[in-house]
Amino acid sequence: MKIINGKEISEKIRQELKQQVEELTKQNGKVPGLATILVGEDPASQIYINSKIKACNQIGIKSFHNTLPANSTKEEIINLIHKLNNDENVNGILLQLPLPEGLNPDKCIEAILPSKDVDGLHPYNAGMLTLVKSWQAIIEQKLLVSCTPMGVIYLLKYSNIDIKGKNAVVIGRSNLVGKPVSMLMLANNATVTMAHSATKNLQDITKRADIVICAIGKANMINKDFIKDGATVIDVGTSKIDGKLCGDVDFESVKDMNINITPVPGGVGPMTITMLLHNTVLAFQRQ
C-alpha cells in the first residue's frame, strides 16, 4: 500500500500559492481578499471558519470575517452578500454551510457574484464545468470549481498518477462532490462511471476500475472485495464511529493490498481548504 499524503501535498501547494500571492501583490499593489460568512454559532462551522482564516494568513491572503445571528433571515444574508459583491477588496466570498435550520442556501449562493464564488457552487460556475472539454481549458479560463473535487484532481496529479485513458468509478452523485469530480475526471480524459445508491452489482463495477473515488458518506462500506490490485483509491467520505473519524473505505481491509490510497483523516480533507485559497487567487487574477 502506498499512502497519498494529503497534508504533504497540501503544504507544497500552499507554499507555491504563497509565492504567487507575493508576486501578485507586488505587481498589482493589492492583496487578494477572502470574505467568510458564518450564520449562527455552530461549533463545527466555527472550527472550519477559523481554519480558513488561519490558512489565509499563512499564505498572505487578507481575510474578512462576517458573522450573522442564527435567527437571520434569507434577506439579511443576501444583503450582506450584495455588500461584499460591491467591495473591491473582496475577491472571494464563502458562505459557510450548512446554514441554520429553516434557511435554504440556494438563493443565498445564487446571490454571490459568479466571479467571487470561490466555493464553485453558483449555478453559473457549476454549468461552466459541464461545458468545458479539457483540463487545459479549465486552467486557461481560471474556472472556479468546487474545492473538494478540485482537491481530488490535484492529489492525483501531485502523486504522478496518470488519469488519461484510465477507467474511473465515482461512487456518489452529489452536487458538491460526485458530479463535479466526474466532470473533472472527464476533462482529464478518464473513462468515467458514476455509481450511486441505486447501482446494481457495484462490486463488479469498482473491481474493474483503475481509479475509485468514494464519496457516499457510508463508513467502511468499501472493502478489499471492491478494489483491484494496483488501483488508486481516493476516499472523500467522512463519518464518525465511536468519536473516531473514518472514511467510506474499510482501511484495515485494504491495508495489505498493492494500491495507492488516501487516508481519513489526512487525505482529501487538507486539500479542500487549500483549493479555497487556490480559487481566491484565481478570482483575484480574473478580477
The catalytic residue among 52, 62, 116, 166 is: 52
Number of H helices, E strands in the chain: 11, 11
Can 240 be counted among the known catalytic residues? no
Q: What's the rounded Cα separation, in Å, for the pair 31 and 258?
A: 45
Instruction: Judge whether 142 and 285 are in contact, CB under 8 Å.
Output: yes
**C-alpha–C-alpha distance, residues 155 and 168, integer Å:** 15
Residue 287: what residue type? Q
Neighbours of 217 (CB within 10 A): 15
Is the bond leading into 98 cis (omega within 30 degrees of zero)?
Answer: yes
Q: Which of 20, 62, 116, 119 is catalytic?
A: 119
Active site residue 54: no
* Active-site hit among 96, 179, 235, 248: 96
φ and ψ of 212, to 5 deg: -120, 125
- Our answer to whether residue 136 is catalytic in this structure is no
Active site residues: 52, 96, 119
